[in-house]
Amino acid sequence: MVPPDALTFTTAPSVLPLSLYGSRIAAGFPSPADDDLEGTLDLNEHLVQHPAATFFVRVQGDSMTGAGIHDGDLLVVDRALEAKSGSIVVAVVDGELTVKRLKVAGERVWLMAENPAFAPLELRDGQALHLWGVVAHAVRSF
C-alpha cells in the first residue's frame, strides 16, 4: 500500500468542466426530457474540499456495504476533516489498513464494520491506531 503522503495533491487539481443539465432524472417513472444545459461541473469542486490534504484509495472487501461502500469503490479521503465518533475513517491498526466507522464512548474506541458478517474491533491497550483521514465520498463504477 502506498502511504497517503504519496497520494496527496501537491498542486491544485486540474479543472475538467463537464456538462451539467438542470433537470433531474426520475428514478421511478420516466418524465419528459429537458434539454436545458445548466452549465458545467468540475468534480474537484464537489469532491475535494482540501486538495493538499486529500487522497484517493480503492476499497477491497465488503465490510462496509451497509454504509454504501463496496468492493472496488474509490474513496475520497480528507485528512483535514476531524475524525469523530460516527465518522467513516481510513485507519491503520497494528500495521493493517482498513476502512471502518469510528465509535468513541468515553475512553473506549471501536472500529465498526457496516456488515453484520464482521465483528466490531475494540482497540485494546497496546494496540496502535493511526487515522489516515475521514472518508468524504465514495465513487462507484458500474
* pLDDT over 70 (residue 37): no
- The active-site residue, picked from 14, 19, 31, 63, is 63
Interacting residues of 49 by C-beta distance below 8 A, sequence separation 6+: 78, 80, 81, 136
Can you tell me the distance from the alpha carbon of 63 to that of 11, in angstroms, rounded to the nearest whole number? 33
Q: What per-residue confidence (pLDDT) applies to 86?
A: 97
Place of cell 466507522: 101
141 is catalytic: no
The pLDDT tens digits of the residues spanning 61-90 come to 999 999 999 999 999 999 999 999 999 999
- The per-residue pLDDT for 3 is 43
- Active-site residue flag, 100: yes
In this prediction, residue 6 has a pLDDT band, given cuts at 50, 70 and 90, of very low
Active-site pick, 14, 23, 31, 100: 100
In degrees and rounded to multiples of 5, residue 40 shows phi and psi of -115, 165
pTM: 0.75
* Residue range 111-133, pLDDT digits in tens: 999 999 999 999 998 888 999 99
